[in-house]
Structure 1
Amino acid sequence: MDGTVDITMPAELEGTRAVVRSWLKSVGETVRRDEPLVELETDKVTTEVPAPADGVLLEILLERDAEAEPGALLGRLGARAAEPAAPTAEPEVCSRQSAAPAPPALEQVREHRLSPAVRRAVGQHGVDISVIRGTGRDGRITRADVDALVAARASAPASGSRIVPHDRMRRLIADNMLASVTTAPHVTAVFEADFSAIIAHRAKHKAAYERDGVSLTYTAYIVAACVAAMRAVPVINSRWHADHLEIFEDVNIGIGTALGDKGLVVPIVHRAQELSLQAIAARLHDLTARARSGQLKAADMKDGSFTISNHGVSGSLVATPIIIQQPQSAILGVGKLEKRVVVREVGGVDTIQIRPMAFVSLTIDHRVVDGHQTNAWLTAFVQALESFGD
């Protein structure tokens, strides 16, 4: 390689607020093309930037915790120094009776995966890597993970409590939630939905979907019902501007996906209005799997126009208000599915029945719509859920 090569913020992160989390190489170290070089973190995902070429890391222009703007220059690579010739001595022949080496222990494997910067920090602070839960790709331990443990250990009181420093994702989520409730007046309407039709339809088609490698979940039906409701009340699929309202043709639905103590991400089912139920289910299966394994890309979480919070999976019946993902205009909440006693008219006579029911809520930006449109959207949504046939 002649000259220098720029290391820049990836194109898929453009328009996203990113921060340099850690450098995986030090100045002067040799790198190979596509080797992970620097970690960038947004409020939704941590991304490793690969080396654009073989070479030596010449400069680090944005240090740890520096904010990276779209197209930012992160550092530079230079030409690789000449490598010494390989030794010509004959390899030592092992005895035929030699025992096979034992497989490396788990912590040896983890130690081998540490970047040089992380390895130095571990040695400097005497950190036991077995107690660290890595937040990098595939569970890799990052410099930020080591620093958080060291900070917590240093600031922990003698007894009575423990300090858990906020990671970057938690701080950015907090900022976004505060900004949303400060910006938009939130109002919530709650309806009740009968899932009998969905359960019957799923029981009939689940095996066929599985033969095609698709997991048919309740969330797929909820996404499809959202599309139907958007056709009835398209103003919900919009964005507020100071002097106009922008109503979107594409229904790009985000699905809140919890990552345990690491917060949550919101992958997007793009152009859901063009997808069949099976296509929605396949897209959800892929997005959810990659979200929980840390494999989402920035593009998977861009351009959402509406969001679903399926909070019932963790046990809550109703959550209100569910905070809107700015700059969207509304967010759907789906409560816990449970059997309830309801009154249904059969042949002109009221009957008491046990049905699978869930509370569904729509929290709206009251600048955008009023109660009439909110209730009309929920009415269409519930009707769609309750009318799934063969």
Structure 2
Amino acid sequence: MTQLVDIRVPQDDQQGTHHVLANWLKTPGEPVTANMPLVDLETDKVMVEVAAPASGILKEVLKKPGEDVEPGTLLGRIEIGLAELPSAPVITYSNIHVEPTPTNDRREGADKMLLSPAVRRLVKTHHLDLSAIHGSGRRGRVTKQDIHAYLKQRKVPVAEDLPVLSSTETAPQTPTTGPPSTRIPHDAMRRRIAAHMTESLLHTAPHVTTVFEADLSAIVRHRNQYKASFKQQGTKLTFSAYFVAAAVKALEWVPRVNSRFHEDSLELFADMNIGIGTALDDRGLIVPVLQRAQTRNLLGIAAELQRLTEAARSGTLEPADLQGGTFTLSNHGVSGSLVATPIIINQPQTAILGIGKLEKRVIVREIDGNDSILIRPMAYVTLTIDHRALDAYQANRFMTRFVEVIENWNAE
């Protein structure tokens, strides 16, 4: 007597999260074990594994890689109740071959699904042996960053990350009347970013940005004094840690900025869960959340920032790392930008803080009643607000307090 068990997309606490089926880790007819990873779902934020709900045989696959799926969607079915089930094979990276072989096409195809499309393209482009590459991803999977690091170590230039086309495929091109070009299809993350940003800026929140200037001399001195001791404790002391700490002080001063707009009310949050905009090279932007920042000192903030950014870039963030944000900080200056405006609000929050490039500039200060010309490390800082929830009064009070904390930094 046999029975079919449904494999479904789990219900997701992240409102509005969009899912795309990325990979099946087994093919129909293969044995599976309860709780083993069975399906990879790609969201606009992280890669999520769906575990097998029971032990048995993967009977049928109802959704294919690349298809959009929603929480509760039926993905496939497992047949259980067989008298005997063969043991599930152990799959390691040493037995993955990117090029198919005539005698092992089916097994090789299943193994390839352990790798993301970007990784498979790089492996094929550079003819790599995956057994020689250490995987830093979940359960030891090789990530795009692992391959970049491996190629850098070998001093091999990384080929442009474009789709690898078979001999029967051609890249989509623009009409022949224009210059030659190649189109790169949008992945789930890029499509979701586009939709989220358009919705925030054009359909939801009227954006207004206030611009201040901050003298970073105090935090530069403090960082130079303490970064060695932080390093001894395994933590990198970044300027972003100071910006998060100063944002906490400013949010305490103006609690309305740490809020969510509703049609009938403004919801103020007790916890300051600060999202940190993190660039993933050409793959887009992700916003891991530093939970309850108001409970952490500078060391605690710096350590958690390090964990979140490393996990974001290695693809090992957990869904919980992206939930519950109440305010966002974008340190766009790390890539050379002086000012970015407006920085689009991460809905459903009501404000986003932007930090421009640290740059030595000539400024005028009054010292003992006389104007003096000084050279100081300066940065433009901005606050973009949802004008439905906040006005210039609250925005400027927040920024005044933020700059005050930065310029008069005192170790805490």
User: Which bin holds the TM-score, normalised by the shorter protein?
Assistant: 0.7 to 0.9
2:26 alignment counterpart: 25
Deviations 1:5-26 (A, max 9, x none): 4434346666433232232222
1:351 alignment counterpart: 372
Structure 1: distance between partners of 2:76 and 2:305: 37
Q: CA deviation at 1:109?
A: 7.8
Does 2:176 correspond to 1:155? no
1:376 alignment counterpart: 397
Between 1:24-33 and 1:178-187, the stretch displaced more is: 24-33
- Counterparts in 2 of 1:61 and 1:13: CA distance versus 1, 3 Å: farther
Deviations 1:237-277 (A, max 9, x none): 11111111111111110000000111111000011111111
Between 1:13-22 and 1:200-209, the stretch displaced more is: 13-22
- Counterparts in 2 of 1:192 and 1:11: CA distance versus 1, 3 Å: same
SS of structure 1 residue aligned to 2:183: coil
Structure 2: distance between partners of 1:51 and 1:150: 33
Does 2:84 correspond to 1:82? yes
Within 5 Å, give how 1:249-264 maps onto structure 2.
Answer: 249-264=270-285
Q: CA deviation at 1:117?
A: 7.8
Report the residue type matching 2:266 in the other structure. Answer: L
Does 2:198 correspond to 1:178? yes
1:9 alignment counterpart: 9
Deviations 1:326-355 (A, max 9, x none): 111011110000100111222222211110
Between 1:186-195 and 1:40-49, the stretch displaced more is: 40-49
Within 5 Å, give how 1:230-379 maps onto structure 2.
Answer: 230-379=251-400
Structure 2: distance between partners of 1:361 and 1:301: 23
Query: Any conservation in 2 of the 1:267–1:301 contact (CA below 8 Å)?
Result: yes
Query: Any conservation in 1 of the 2:171–2:182 contact (CA below 8 Å)?
Result: no
Query: Any conservation in 1 of the 2:383–2:399 contact (CA below 8 Å)?
Result: yes
Which runs of no fewer than 5 residues in structure 2 stay unpaired?
88-92, 114-120, 131-136, 145-160
Structure 2: distance between partners of 1:76 and 1:54: 11
1:131 alignment counterpart: 125
Report the residue type matching 2:61 in the other structure. Answer: I
Query: Any conservation in 2 of the 1:24–1:38 contact (CA below 8 Å)?
Result: yes
2:155 alignment counterpart: none
Q: CA deviation at 1:150?
A: 4.6
Query: Any conservation in 2 of the 1:12–1:299 contact (CA below 8 Å)?
Result: no
Structure 1: distance between partners of 2:288 and 2:356: 20
Q: CA deviation at 1:74?
A: 3.1
Structure 2: distance between partners of 1:313 and 1:5: 49
2:59 alignment counterpart: 58
Report the residue type matching 2:199 in the other structure. Answer: A
Q: CA deviation at 1:378?
A: 0.4
Larger-gyration structure (1/2): 1
Structure 2: distance between partners of 1:343 and 1:214: 36
Does 2:106 correspond to 1:116? no
Query: Any conservation in 2 of the 1:114–1:140 contact (CA below 8 Å)?
Result: no
Query: Any conservation in 2 of the 1:26–1:117 contact (CA below 8 Å)?
Result: no
Query: Any conservation in 1 of the 2:14–2:323 contact (CA below 8 Å)?
Result: no
Report the residue type matching 1:181 in the other structure. Answer: L
Query: Any conservation in 2 of the 1:14–1:70 contact (CA below 8 Å)?
Result: no
Report the residue type matching 1:40 in the other structure. Answer: L
Q: Output the aligned Cα RMSD.
A: 3.3
Which of residues 189, 208, 228 in structure 2 aligns to 1:207? 228
Structure 2: distance between partners of 1:383 and 1:106: 58
Query: Any conservation in 2 of the 1:268–1:304 contact (CA below 8 Å)?
Result: yes
Structure 2: distance between partners of 1:362 and 1:74: 43
Q: CA deviation at 1:105?
A: 9.3
SS of structure 2 residue aligned to 1:155: coil
Within 5 Å, give how 1:186-225 maps onto structure 2.
Answer: 186-225=207-246
Structure 2: distance between partners of 1:51 and 1:279: 37
1:40 alignment counterpart: 41
Structure 2: distance between partners of 1:324 and 1:84: 52
- Counterparts in 2 of 1:384 and 1:153: CA distance versus 1, 3 Å: farther
Structure 2: distance between partners of 1:210 and 1:128: 34
Query: Any conservation in 2 of the 1:193–1:360 contact (CA below 8 Å)?
Result: yes
Query: Any conservation in 2 of the 1:61–1:74 contact (CA below 8 Å)?
Result: yes
Report the residue type matching 1:221 in the other structure. Answer: Y
Q: CA deviation at 1:139?
A: 4.2
1:98 alignment counterpart: none
Q: CA deviation at 1:166?
A: 0.9
TM-score scaled by structure 1? 0.82
